[in-house]
A and B are shown apart, each in its own frame.
Chain A
Amino acid sequence: MSAPLLSIEDLRVSFPTPKGRIEVVKGVTFDLGRERLGIVGESGSGKSMTGRAILRLIRPPGVVTASRMQFDGMDLMALSEADMRALRGARISMIMQDPKFSLNPVMTVGRQIGEALRAHERLPRAAIRARVIEMLNAVRINDPERVAKMYPHEVSGGMGQRVMIAMMLIPKPSLLIADEPTSALDVSVQAQVLDLIDDLVRETGMGLLLISHDLNLVARYCDRILVMNAGEVVESCAARDLHAASHPYTKGLLAAVPQMHETRDVLPVLDRSAWGGTGT
């Protein structure tokens, strides 16, 4: 791979606690081209913090350090807050987890999507409206005119997440981070939303960083997978090679996934002593 889109080396995120600073991300390193990269791990493994650190969204007292964090030739750690703002949304965007909390409850859906565009481009109102409707169509929402006038509490979870996707893709970013984009949704709509993200990513040739706790899902929608545990990357492999994973943690995770035609009496749980994990 020649110059990757995103290149991260030794990323660390820490927060203060009564016992002193605790690192939740401990030296993560990876490159991401125009491909689909998945980060898998349990809750608390630091995967979401990694996503937020890339957008420099960790607020004090959290501290982020990295020996390199480059996006498209720019050093993300050195950018001014204003430059960073110009980058967010326009170049790197992030789909948040739960539309119930991540959409502003007192602003109509249309305004929220339009705002993402207005933050980066000066366009007449009519043009913004047209783009919003077009985008709502693109995320397969029927009757976009009506939905645009609705408040977030009036739309379902699946539709809310599509609104979120529309909002994050409307300025046409080149890297999309999806942080557990479907874990708050009903199982029945999870696949629809992921297929939608997948289609849009392929159409536009964006890079995708899919963060999830679901191994199967990541294996299905990504080209490459990083497995994170306790703030560290323990495994990095191509999605199709996942079954041949070498790290005991990954093996444990794989073993804990129930099969359709189950023959085991008891699902194994993770034996954390195998890799000397800290386990909380």
Chain B
Amino acid sequence: MAIADNSTDGSLHGVMRFVRSLAGFVVVVALTFLGLLAITFFIGRVVPIDPVLSVVGDRATQEQYDAAKIAMGLDRPLIVQFFSYVGNVLGGDLGQSVSTNRAVAADLVRVFPATLELATLGIIIGVLLGVPMGVAAAVYQGRAADQIIRVLALLGYSVPAFWLGLVGLAVFYAGLGWVAGPGRIDIFYDGIVPPVTGLLLIDSLIAGDTDIFFNALDHIALPAVILGFFSLAYIARMTRSFMLDQLGQEYVTTARVKGVAEWRVIWVHAFAPIRVPLITVIGLSYAGLLEGSVMIETVFSWPGIGNYLTVALLNADMNAVLGATLVIGSVFIFINKISDVLYRILDPRSRS
């Protein structure tokens, strides 16, 4: 609505600017992605394990070894190898996983929805709790509420996710029995619901199977709350700092001078301008949860991309490690840049 208000004049100019910023966005994302590829390629090259040896075995003759090396393209200059690597990745070929004996790309497609489901629920919890907490902390700056929220937020920076996961399991699963244990769903429910979105909570609702829905909810609750806690810490902290900044602005005083009710001063005048930077924060936090899910998934045996990555790490399955790194990195970059662009599109100040 706010955008429509403003597009009355100079709309052609606006379109041009939009196209230009879109082009800039694509270039930046492409370059960053190329940088990511360069890093994973580099990491793949410095692995002390000789990739040729792992194919031909220790007892291969020198001729067999050389032949395999040429067949794998490892005799070519590095830059050529890099571009063929980029070509492969763009073509969806991330190599073969040693541990699952399947294409890494296919594996990743299979495990990704589980991570997406977990991180999304986590961010929802983080936003719903974190934003009001941050606002409250800023409004009651220096008072008890502020101190409590501040310590809680700092705890989010200080508690190891894997430890909190273990303690959570010990207390709420083993101790109190409030939630289901590790895994995404009880074994006897596994594979019953036809995958549509890959998100169990949604698929089970589509299938109309409430038993499975509640079982899945039971399983996801604890890891999602823990992830939510970490995003809450970050979101609350940033919200607080943005709000403190806003509450000191002249136009907030102006609103008070007008005799506007205090809740309106806070939520309309002080909060409205920070919605846009908050989107960036939430985006970053969401991307951070994808990363944080590595530890949480490992602890909860959650069959997502993080768990896939750590299993691959333990098996020295480099193709799988690099593939997972690439996917998490790409999603991370993408969310990062998208929130950056949203910032520019949504803020009326940047539209003039």
Of residues 222 to 242 in B, which have CB atoms within 8 Å of A's CB atoms?
A: none
Q: Are A104 and B254 in contact (CB under 8 A)?
A: yes
A275 within 8 A of B: no
B210 within 8 A of A: no
Q: Are B256 and A149 in contact (CB under 8 A)?
A: no
The 0/1 profile, CB within 8 Å of B marked 1, for residues 76-118 of chain A is 0000010001111110011011100111111110000001100
A108-B5, A151-B348, A153-B352 known; A90+B259 contact, CB < 8 A: yes
**Of B6, B250, B269, B272, most A-chain CB atoms within 10 Å:** B250
Bound-state CA distance A149–B6 (Å) is 8
A228 within 8 A of B: no
Q: Are B257 and A101 in contact (CB under 8 A)?
A: no
Q: Nearest A residue to B351 by beta-carbon distance?
A: A151
**Of B8, B256, B264, B272, most A-chain CB atoms within 10 Å:** B256
- Which residue of A55, A85, A96, A164 is within 8 Å of B261 (Cβ)? A85
The 0/1 profile, CB within 8 Å of A marked 1, for residues 246-271 of chain B is 00011101111111111010001100
Q: Are A87 and B251 in contact (CB under 8 A)?
A: no
Q: Are B5 and A101 in contact (CB under 8 A)?
A: no
Bound-state CA distance A103–B269 (Å) is 10
Q: Are B273 and A86 in contact (CB under 8 A)?
A: no
A105-B348, A105-B349, A106-B347 known; A85+B259 contact, CB < 8 A: yes
Q: Are A119 and B260 in contact (CB under 8 A)?
A: yes
**Min CB distance, A57 to chain B, in Å?**
6
A167 within 8 A of B: yes
A-side contacts of B254, CB under 8 Å: 96, 102-104, 164, 167
Bound-state CA distance A128–B76 (Å) is 75
A85-B262, A151-B349 known; A105+B257 contact, CB < 8 A: no
**Min CB distance, A278 to chain B, in Å?**
27
Q: Are A116 and B349 in contact (CB under 8 A)?
A: no
B-side contacts of A116, CB under 8 Å: 258-260
Of residues 168 to 221 in A, which have CB atoms within 8 Å of B's CB atoms?
A: 168, 171
- Which residue of A94, A108, A154 is within 8 Å of B257 (Cβ)? A94
Bound-state CA distance A196–B260 (Å) is 25
A-side contacts of B5, CB under 8 Å: 108, 149
- Which residue of B249, B256, B262 is within 8 Å of A57 (Cβ)? B256
- Which residue of B2, B256, B259, B347 is within 8 Å of A86 (Cβ)? B259
Q: Nearest B residue to A60 by beta-carbon distance?
A: B142
A120 within 8 A of B: yes
Q: Are B261 and A119 in contact (CB under 8 A)?
A: yes
Chain B: number of interface residues, binned into ranges: 20 to 34
Q: Nearest B residue to A88 by beta-carbon distance?
A: B259
A104-B273, A151-B6 known; A89+B253 contact, CB < 8 A: no
Q: Are B259 and A106 in contact (CB under 8 A)?
A: no
Bound-state CA distance A104–B266 (Å) is 13
Q: Are A106 and B253 in contact (CB under 8 A)?
A: no
Q: Are B272 and A107 in contact (CB under 8 A)?
A: yes
Q: Are A105 and B260 in contact (CB under 8 A)?
A: no
Q: Are B349 and A93 in contact (CB under 8 A)?
A: no
Q: Are B253 and A57 in contact (CB under 8 A)?
A: yes
Q: Are A102 and B272 in contact (CB under 8 A)?
A: no
The 0/1 profile, CB within 8 Å of B marked 1, for residues 207-246 of chain A is 0000000000000000000000000000000000000000
Bound-state CA distance A89–B253 (Å) is 12
Q: Nearest B residue to A177 by beta-carbon distance?
A: B257
A-side contacts of B269, CB under 8 Å: 104, 107
Bound-state CA distance A116–B352 (Å) is 26
- Which residue of B6, B250, B259 is within 8 Å of A89 (Cβ)? B259
Q: Are A98 and B250 in contact (CB under 8 A)?
A: yes
Bound-state CA distance A55–B258 (Å) is 10
- Which residue of A81, A101, A153 is within 8 Å of B349 (Cβ)? A153
Bound-state CA distance A167–B257 (Å) is 10
B-side contacts of A102, CB under 8 Å: 250-251, 253-254
Q: Are A106 and B257 in contact (CB under 8 A)?
A: no
**Min CB distance, A117 to chain B, in Å?**
9
Q: Are B257 and A104 in contact (CB under 8 A)?
A: no
Of residues 1 to 54 in B, which have CB atoms within 8 Å of A's CB atoms?
A: 2, 5-6, 8
The 0/1 profile, CB within 8 Å of B marked 1, for residues 38-76 of chain A is 000000000000000001010000000000000000000
Q: Nearest A residue to B270 by beta-carbon distance?
A: A104
- Which residue of B6, B251, B262, B264 is within 8 Å of A101 (Cβ)? B251
Q: Nearest B residue to A103 by beta-carbon distance?
A: B251
B-side contacts of A119, CB under 8 Å: 258-261, 264
Q: Are B347 and A101 in contact (CB under 8 A)?
A: no
Q: Are B251 and A105 in contact (CB under 8 A)?
A: yes
B-side contacts of A81, CB under 8 Å: 262
B-side contacts of A105, CB under 8 Å: 251, 273, 348-349
Bound-state CA distance A97–B8 (Å) is 30
Bound-state CA distance A149–B4 (Å) is 11
Q: Nearest A residue to B247 by beta-carbon distance?
A: A59
**Min CB distance, B260 to chain A, in Å?**
5
Q: Are A120 and B259 in contact (CB under 8 A)?
A: yes
**Of B253, B257, B261, most A-chain CB atoms within 10 Å:** B257
12 A-B pairs in the complex with CB atoms less than 8 angstroms apart? A81-B262, A93-B257, A96-B254, A101-B249, A103-B251, A104-B255, A104-B269, A115-B264, A119-B258, A149-B8, A153-B348, A168-B258
**Which 10 pairs of residues, A with B, have the shortest CB-CB distance?**
A89-B259, A88-B259, A101-B250, A89-B258, A116-B258, A102-B250, A104-B251, A102-B254, A119-B259, A106-B273
Given A96-B253, A108-B5, A119-B258, 20 more A-B residue pairs with CB atoms under 8 Å apart are A57-B257, A85-B260, A85-B262, A86-B259, A89-B259, A94-B257, A104-B272, A104-B273, A105-B251, A106-B348, A107-B269, A115-B258, A119-B261, A149-B5, A149-B8, A153-B348, A153-B349, A167-B258, A168-B258, A171-B259
